[in-house]
Structure 1
Amino acid sequence: MRVKVACVGGGPAGLYLSILLKRQDPSHDITVYERDPEGSTYGWGVTYWRGLRDKLHELDPESARALSEHSVTWNEGTARVRDLTTRQPGDEGFGIGRHRLLEILAARACSLGVRLEFEHEITEGNLPDADLVVAGDGVNSALRTRHADHFGAELRPGRNHYIWLGTSKVFDSFTFAFVETDHGWIWCYGYGFSPERSTCVVECAPETWTGLGLDTANEADGLALLEKLFVDVLDGHALIGRSTGDGSAQWLNFRTLTNRTWHRDNLVLVGDAAHTTHYSIGAGTTLALEDAIALADALREHPDLPDALAHYERERKAALLSIQSAARYSAQWYENLQRYMHLPPERMFALLGQRHSPLLPYVPPQLYYRIDRAAGQLEALRRFKRWLGPKVARTVHARALASRK
């Protein structure tokens, strides 16, 4: 059945939903409305992982191929603590520039017949006439805010300050660097998103932020200080800010958003308008695309719109439970960083990888590390026994046969 859909917000969720709906039925009338000019997206690179990449190739091979061609990849993690470094294998991850990601999705959507309206802000006062309105207008969603009591939105600010930067240093692994200052620890996460650029997110506690003077420094002075602090990990490369008109630095406190419900009549929330998860788990873009996939599936499988939206909400809320929990514990790990910094780098790095655990905050770090190591060795032993068992059985059986001859 032909439907008219208005996607408010030209981010990954709205664009990918429009692609999937057009692939399901080319007769659907779909428009994506973006308030900003074309090509003016914020941010540097975003991350995703093999599971999502494989899913995208199943759903729309053409856009997935373009994303893969313009992504960089890594399968190792590096941690620098003071002047010590440890490097370990990890899951295969991918980085792509946010601008490139949106460019690819927008081009694919247009090729399928989706209309894109840039510099067109949608509010409650000028809602388009559509069967379905998809609010993908971000954490500050105007459409959600207009019905705040219905959606039950709750925003919880985090303690630490962070700033989203670019750099000309190209990291060949997902890199964490921790630097001790006279005012406490400051750290960064770095990952490549093109052959020439990487993302570099810098974070610190409030007392470190004010002690270093980052609270009053303009962008240029702040970048110069951060380049000096992270000179080793950056290999002397520059950090790149967002170049706002007033020259101010764009420091933020991460806000975790939850909503009691995700839909109202023919209005439904997706992406950051529906939920946010702390950036330290690198899942924001993945979750937005998974929202689009789940909503497209629900609309295909449930012809009745209220049923489709209810099914979408139930499915995504259930899928998010473990991810949101992991994100909360990850954020808390960094907020309690001092608890782990006395460990040798390889042990600190191991617990960094375990930061999603609900047990870690309540178990002494050294004890947790030993327990985790023992559990890992036990599992390795179990795998070895499962592999060895059939081989031993075959050998015994062969010898028994030989003895009968």
Structure 2
Amino acid sequence: MRIACAGGGPAGLYLAVLAAIRSGGRDEVVVLERNEPGRTHGFAVTFGEDLLDDAFRNDPAGGAALRRAARLWSAQEIRVGDHRPAHVGGKYGYSIARVELLDVLARRAEQLGVRIEYGRAVESREEVDADVVVAADGIGSRLRGARAEHFGTTITDGANRYVWLGADRDSDTFVWDFQRTDAGWMWIHLYPSSNGLSTCIAECEPGTWTALGLDAMSGPEAITLIESVFGRTLGGCRIVEPPGGLDAQPWLRFREVRNRTWRDGELVLAGDAAHTTHFGIGSGTVLAMQDSMALADALYGTDGAAGRDVVDLRDGNGRGAALAAYDARRRAQVGPVQDAAHRNMQWFEQAGRQLERADDPVDFAWSLADRRGDMGRIHYQLHRATQVPALRQVRRGLTTARRVRRAVLREASGRSRGPQD
């Protein structure tokens, strides 16, 4: 069987890795990436323990490489104006520069015999000679766009404006900073990367964006304004433009992509081509790689090449059944996550009004922590307790102990399975 992944992002590269492993090298796997090596957008992506568990289970050697390249962040702060920062306890995660993540996945894929063709844009299914074509070519997917009516694609724009920047700030703390300007509230999402930089997403409501004149400012002028508004949190650190520089109009609106089906014959969608989730929940990369795991399970079975006893992938009907199973299973899993991400987006679109009514920064921080609406009263009590420094240290210590134990169990499981080279 020949598998072609259109798009060399996390979804395409990880599917190629898993297909090479699960087929025992018998299937021909190729990744077709329109950009040259090392060229990508954005700064860092985030993920949690669940992705590491999945990565070690699917490919112990690749999972270990991912963990080595990632940066642990172990604290979260929410700052509102000049108030003392509020703290979110028990939270931690991992960050990795997107360019480093793609390098880790590409090196692993090539080690397993996958061919990666850089500078190869794919505009239509007919251009690719393969039994299975994975459209992992991003939010603006050409392959999906050519068959948008079949896929039932809907794209909904969010209201807020945001710009994706970086900062030469090295910290192990994830910070949200909300500051009032003369034109309204503005905020940044600031979190560490694995290369000594931080991702800095600046966001505001559309009325604030216009009143500040950001709609008419150049990129450098906007950066100067952001540095002045968030100077206390940045602490003299410099805002960094994204790779390739800023466009003439760098401010974006989030685009929520949904599809009625992810399958068209032997063409399937994965990653942002299939779905997007608001950057406020940091799940895009995780969902993309989980798409790849689900597709590999459908094609090969959860026990790798043993999946050939379930369906004969040399037969078109067998492949069709596998792809249909992937479509049904994965859409059902991602739907609730997109719903939660949509609630998260709506929270940020109303943040300015909430801030005007907020009497207690700690309660506002709780509203931010519970913006998806999935926490209970006990979590609120823990949140209040976390504001006490001694209790915060106790909770952080317990979280660290659980993290270390999980890592030991995960790595032991990976060693028992072998490297899968």
- 1:355 paired residue among 367, 371, 394: 371
> 1:263, CA displacement in angstroms?
0.5
Contact 1:176/1:188 (CA < 8 Å) preserved in 2?
yes
* Distance in 1 of aligned mates of 2:134 and 2:232: 45
The residue that corresponds to 2:334 in the other structure is 320
Q: Secondary structure of the equivalent of 2:90?
A: strand
Output one character per residue of 1:187-214: Cα deviation in whole Å (capped at 9) or x when no partner: 0111101251110111101111111111
* Distance in 2 of aligned mates of 1:147 and 1:254: 22
The residue that corresponds to 2:60 in the other structure is 61
Q: Give runs of aligned pairs for residues 102-117 of structure 1, distance below 5 A.
A: 102-117=102-117
Contact 2:281/2:341 (CA < 8 Å) preserved in 1?
yes
With the length of structure 1 as denominator, give the TM-score of the two structures: 0.86
Contact 2:125/2:143 (CA < 8 Å) preserved in 1?
no
Instruction: Rate the CA distance shift 1:156–1:87 in 2: closer, same or farther, 3 A.
Output: same
Instruction: Rate the CA distance shift 1:59–1:46 in 2: closer, same or farther, 3 A.
Output: same
The farther-off stretch of 337-346 and 201-210 is: 337-346
Instruction: Rate the CA distance shift 1:130–1:333 in 2: closer, same or farther, 3 A.
Output: same
The residue that corresponds to 2:217 in the other structure is 217
Query: Partner letter of residue 355 of structure 1?
Result: R
Instruction: Rate the CA distance shift 1:119–1:300 in 2: closer, same or farther, 3 A.
Output: same
Output one character per residue of 1:68-127: Cα deviation in whole Å (capped at 9) or x when no partner: 111111232100100121123233300000000000100000010000000011111752
Instruction: Rate the CA distance shift 1:11–1:195 in 2: closer, same or farther, 3 A.
Output: closer
> 1:246, CA displacement in angstroms?
7.7
Q: Secondary structure of the equivalent of 1:357?
A: coil
Contact 2:366/2:383 (CA < 8 Å) preserved in 1?
no
Question: How many matched pairs?
Answer: 366
> 1:30, CA displacement in angstroms?
0.6
Q: Give runs of aligned pairs for residues 97-136 of structure 1, distance below 5 A.
A: 97-124=97-124, 127-136=127-136
Contact 1:136/1:271 (CA < 8 Å) preserved in 2?
yes
Instruction: Rate the CA distance shift 1:376–1:182 in 2: closer, same or farther, 3 A.
Output: closer
- 1:306 paired residue among 320, 332, 335: 320
The residue that corresponds to 2:12 in the other structure is 14
With the length of structure 2 as denominator, give the TM-score of the two structures: 0.83
Query: Partner letter of residue 356 of structure 1?
Result: R
Contact 1:50/1:92 (CA < 8 Å) preserved in 2?
no
> 1:247, CA displacement in angstroms?
5.8
The residue that corresponds to 2:51 in the other structure is 52
* Distance in 2 of aligned mates of 1:181 and 1:230: 10
Corresponding position: 1:163 with 2:177: no
> 1:170, CA displacement in angstroms?
1.9
The farther-off stretch of 284-293 and 341-350 is: 341-350
User: 5+ unaligned residues in a row in structure 2: which ranges?
Assistant: 302-309, 312-317, 385-421
- Percent of counterpart pairs with the same letter? 40
> 1:284, CA displacement in angstroms?
0.2
Contact 2:183/2:212 (CA < 8 Å) preserved in 1?
yes
Q: Secondary structure of the equivalent of 2:73?
A: strand
Corresponding position: 1:336 with 2:350: yes
The residue that corresponds to 1:380 in the other structure is none
* Distance in 2 of aligned mates of 1:56 and 1:185: 40
Q: Give runs of aligned pairs for residues 165-314 of structure 1, distance below 5 A.
A: 165-194=165-194, 196-242=196-242, 244=244, 248-301=248-301, 302-303=310-311, 304-314=318-328
> 1:375, CA displacement in angstroms?
11
Q: Secondary structure of the equivalent of 1:163?
A: strand
User: 5+ unaligned residues in a row in structure 1: which ranges?
Assistant: 361-368, 378-405
Q: Secondary structure of the equivalent of 1:78?
A: strand
* Distance in 2 of aligned mates of 1:67 and 1:167: 23
> 1:318, CA displacement in angstroms?
1.4
Contact 1:44/1:97 (CA < 8 Å) preserved in 2?
yes
Instruction: Rate the CA distance shift 1:47–1:246 in 2: closer, same or farther, 3 A.
Output: closer
Output one character per residue of 1:139-179: Cα deviation in whole Å (capped at 9) or x when no partner: 11111111111001000000000111111012322110001
The farther-off stretch of 243-252 and 310-319 is: 243-252
Contact 1:333/1:355 (CA < 8 Å) preserved in 2?
yes
Query: Partner letter of residue 10 of structure 1?
Result: G
Higher Cα radius of gyration: 1
Instruction: Rate the CA distance shift 1:207–1:104 in 2: closer, same or farther, 3 A.
Output: same
Contact 1:219/1:248 (CA < 8 Å) preserved in 2?
yes
Query: Partner letter of residue 60 of structure 1?
Result: D
Query: Partner letter of residue 275 of structure 1?
Result: H
Instruction: Rate the CA distance shift 1:211–1:152 in 2: closer, same or farther, 3 A.
Output: same
Contact 1:33/1:116 (CA < 8 Å) preserved in 2?
yes
* Distance in 1 of aligned mates of 2:211 and 2:324: 49
Corresponding position: 1:73 with 2:72: yes
Instruction: Rate the CA distance shift 1:114–1:77 in 2: closer, same or farther, 3 A.
Output: same
Contact 2:183/2:208 (CA < 8 Å) preserved in 1?
yes
Contact 2:44/2:198 (CA < 8 Å) preserved in 1?
yes
Query: Partner letter of residue 331 of structure 2?
Result: K
The residue that corresponds to 2:416 in the other structure is none
Instruction: Rate the CA distance shift 1:289–1:221 in 2: closer, same or farther, 3 A.
Output: same
Instruction: Rate the CA distance shift 1:142–1:237 in 2: closer, same or farther, 3 A.
Output: same
Q: Secondary structure of the equivalent of 1:91?
A: coil
Q: Secondary structure of the equivalent of 1:113?
A: coil
Query: Partner letter of residue 254 of structure 2?
Result: F
> 1:66, CA displacement in angstroms?
1.4
Contact 1:190/1:201 (CA < 8 Å) preserved in 2?
yes
